Amino acid sequence: MTSTGTKVIGEAISRIDGVLKVTGAANYATDWPIKTMSYAYMVKSTVAAGTISDIDTNAAEKSPGVLAVVTYKNAPKLNGSGNLRGGAILQDPKVEFFGQHIGVVIAETYEQARYAARLVKVSYQKVEPKVNFEKEIGGAVVPRSRPDAVRGDFDSAFQKADKKIDYTYETPIEHHNPMEPHSTVAVWDGDKLTVYNASQIVNAVQNALAGTFGLKPENVRVITPHIGGGFGSKGGAWGHVVIAAMAARAVNRPVKLALTRQNMFNSVGLRQRNRQRLQIAATNDGKLTALAHETTTHTATTGEFVEPCGQNSGFMYDTPNSRIAYRVAPMNVIIPTFTRGPGESTGSFALESAMDEMAYGLKMDPVEFRLKNLSSMDLSNGKPFSSRATVEALKRGAQMIGWNKRKSEPRQIRNGDFLIGYGVSIGAYPSRQQASSAQVKLMRSGNNVTATIELAASDLGTGTHTIIAQTAAETLTLPMTAIAVRIGDSSLPPAAGSVGSV
């Protein structure tokens, strides 16, 4: 047996899948060479709210190469939504947002399918859509998923404070647009379904499809060894995944459905527009006495999703009086979803901007102001932090960038033709864990031992293949060259997904 005592975990090494990627040999969702492939193209709504009064598919069905056109009129009835993101699709004529999937054309070639999709004629019975943010938030309510979190008496403390600020910050809608747009290849073999689909959580997509089609999970196989980015949008199964499987069953052939770059803006969720009001109060010497973080946002008419913008405000600073609140209004927009740093990033922007404003009002150094108010425990639940290096990080960061050169008034530091600015902010993100399992296969040939590690994990592009190989090499005392990794396949042992920093 050839072994090594060299440390491998955490070391900088070349990625084991690097050659595959740079040579184009790595298979992404639409790269698999499936025989008798057909191609699908989405038909999308051109109104934001209403009901389809008629959908004429005759011209499309007669177009060269077209195999089928599926709409709510002839789509098979699904077995519920199966935790499908955005709800069921092609099940009724109701339209809830602009760009909603209302049909799919399947043809011999992609070009034939795309052309025929333009021939589908749709008429609507329109209703006034809820798309005006300013108007709709007037009726915003407390979301079911995020009730108010109150500590102490904010209103009284804010009213009596020596110093106080009241600022509102706004972040716009943001859309997922990873390098690899969402796409799916669906293949049926009797009652068994295989999908090649970019999935951050392999088993979640497997279970969603099984629930939607009324299949046993073991009869659904999801294959996704490589993902070209996702940012949270590929964590579950969106409507197009089910539509691809529906289309494949309709034509009794494999179907490839790839969203266009334009489709991405109304097919796979978004980060919603957030309006955040920060009210902060402090003593004259810079000790926080009250903090309120109120987020007003929108969700879909079909379901609720509210990212936790106020999460960090509940524990980041030692504030005896706190109110974290959310108000949400349903709108005719696709349902929001997890977007990189959901809540933590947009919320930290508002919180840290307000902390800077308070420090400026107090004529206090922003770093010192933060250091004075950092909490040693999580005040939102009364539990101590398992570790917290924020104080050391702030001090070290200030030292490394020459914070002592900073002047509180802007446009005071110049380097040649450039004005130099100094800024500071801090943030936090949960340290999440989820159960996983793996299978290790050892093979011996003479004195040489090799290992294959198998699990249904996914690689979002962050190097999962290599990290697993490093862990196995050091743990088994084998060289990296003796380790093979198989991931991205739901037929392998269940594993946590590449999402939420798990």
Q: What is the pLDDT, as a whole number, of residue 499? A: 87
Q: How many other β-carbons are positioned within 10 Å of the β-carbon of residue 134?
A: 7
Angle between helices 366-373 and 344-362 (to 10 degrees): 110
Q: In a structure prediction context, what are the per-residue pLDDT tens digits for the chain, which is 502 residues long?
A: 445 567 899 999 999 999 999 999 999 999 999 999 999 999 999 999 999 999 999 999 999 999 999 999 999 999 865 556 666 689 999 999 999 999 999 999 999 999 999 999 999 999 999 999 999 999 999 999 999 999 999 999 999 999 999 999 999 999 999 999 999 999 999 999 999 999 999 999 999 999 999 999 999 999 998 999 998 899 889 999 999 999 999 999 999 999 999 999 999 999 999 999 999 999 999 999 999 999 999 999 999 999 999 999 999 999 999 999 999 999 999 999 999 889 999 999 999 999 999 999 999 999 999 999 999 899 988 899 988 999 999 999 999 999 998 988 889 999 999 999 999 999 998 888 889 999 999 999 999 999 999 999 999 888 999 999 999 999 999 999 999 999 999 999 999 998 888 8
DSSP E strands: which ranges in 245-358? 255-258, 270-271, 274-282, 288-300, 321-331
Q: In the beta sheet, which residues pair with residue 294?
A: 277, 325
- Rounded CA separation 376/318 (Å): 8
The rounded radius of gyration (Å) of the Cα atoms in the chain is 27
* Beta sheet of 101-107, edge-to-edge order: 66-71, 101-107, 38-44, 255-258, 183-189, 192-197, 220-223
Q: What is the pLDDT, as a whole number, of residue 369? A: 98
Least Cα distance to 202 among 500, 499, 466, 497 occurs for 497
Q: What is the pLDDT, as a whole number, of residue 373? A: 98
- Rounded CA separation 122/55 (Å): 4
Q: Which helix (H) or strand (E) holds 237?
A: none
Q: State the residue for tokens 């598919």.
A: 57
Burial of 357 (0-12, 13-18, 19+ CB in 10 A): middle
- Rounded CA separation 46/43 (Å): 9
Contact (Cβ atoms closer than 8 angstroms) between residue 247 and residue 40: yes
Q: Which residues have C-beta within 8 Å of that of residue 23, sequence separation ≥ 6?
A: none
Model pTM? 0.93
- Rounded CA separation 336/297 (Å): 10
Q: What are phi and psi of 326, to 5 degrees?
A: -135, 145
- Rounded CA separation 177/91 (Å): 27
